[in-house]
Amino acid sequence: MDRKLTGWGSGLLGVVIFSGSLPATRVAVADFMPLFLTASRGMIAALCGALCLLVLRQAWPGRQDLRGLAIVAAGVVIGFPLLTALALQHVTAARSVVFIGLLPLSTALFGVLRGGERPRPAFWLFSGLGAAVVAGFALWQGGGGAGRGDLLMLAAVAVCGLGYAEGGLLSRRMGGWQVICWALLMAAPVMAVLVLVSWPGQFAQVTLPGWLSLGYVGLFSMLVGFVFWYRGLALGGIAGVGQLQLLQPFLGLALAALVLKEPVAWPMVGCTGAVVLCVLGARRYA
């Protein structure tokens, strides 16, 4: 099978898995504090990743890869899960998905910075329009504590884009699943301390949906999804496969409506569509 086609297929599977992350996090934060949720999902994934590295006898990463792995760990293992968990205490999963529409742009921006590319002026025009659409939506729909959630989601998108771009570059020489497994292992000591610090007093009131959601974000969102995603970026290219993230807002909105029964207003769908168009334009001129 063609290498790029394989990359696109792997990347698509990653996006489908990631699409369930915010709805699952929304369910989980009803039973777990954001800090414990972030740390425990990281530990679940780190233990599974360490087992994979051990069983498959992977060599230790080189010194030149440690900085990049630290960036991946800080961005997608710690930063994005914690910031989104905090944000979802203030906004609905459906609303947060609108901000995920900026992830391709964030990934592209950090890809430009890390890869030394020189996009045309039109790229920055579409970038500014996309940011303006999201800012306008947040202001128009704001109120009731949503402003804090919006800022947290923007910060989450920024650190996640950095982690995606850095992980895509590392995957070209290390392998996709190896990158996320080593990043998880690097973050494990911090996660372990945070689990102990934020340990709940008791788990008797945790619901079954809460446990299932924790399992999903720990195993699938933090590990399995990245195995497919980073493999896709390595095989198909960051610029091309990164466009598949444009599907994530729509898949996320559908899950928020079907699983969580959250209302998805037409302005929210329209905003998501406008962001997607802006990102498409930015990617064309990147």
Is there a contact between 240 and 3 (Cβ–Cβ < 8 Å)?
no
What is the residue-averaged pLDDT of the chain?
Answer: 84
pLDDT digits (tens, 9 = 90+) for 129-169: 887 887 777 667 655 555 788 889 999 999 999 998 899 88
Residue 60 burial (CB < 10 Å; 0-12/13-18/19+)? exposed
User: What does the pLDDT average to over 258-270?
Assistant: 76
The residue extents of the domains of the chain are 3-198+210-284
Q: Work out whether the CA dihedral 77, 198, 194, 188 comes out positive or negative.
A: negative
CA distance 178 to 89: 33
CB atoms within 10 A of CB 199: 12
Distance (Å, whole) CA 24 – CA 95 = 14
pLDDT at 2 over 60: yes
At residue 21 the predicted structure's pLDDT band, cuts being 50, 70 and 90, is confident
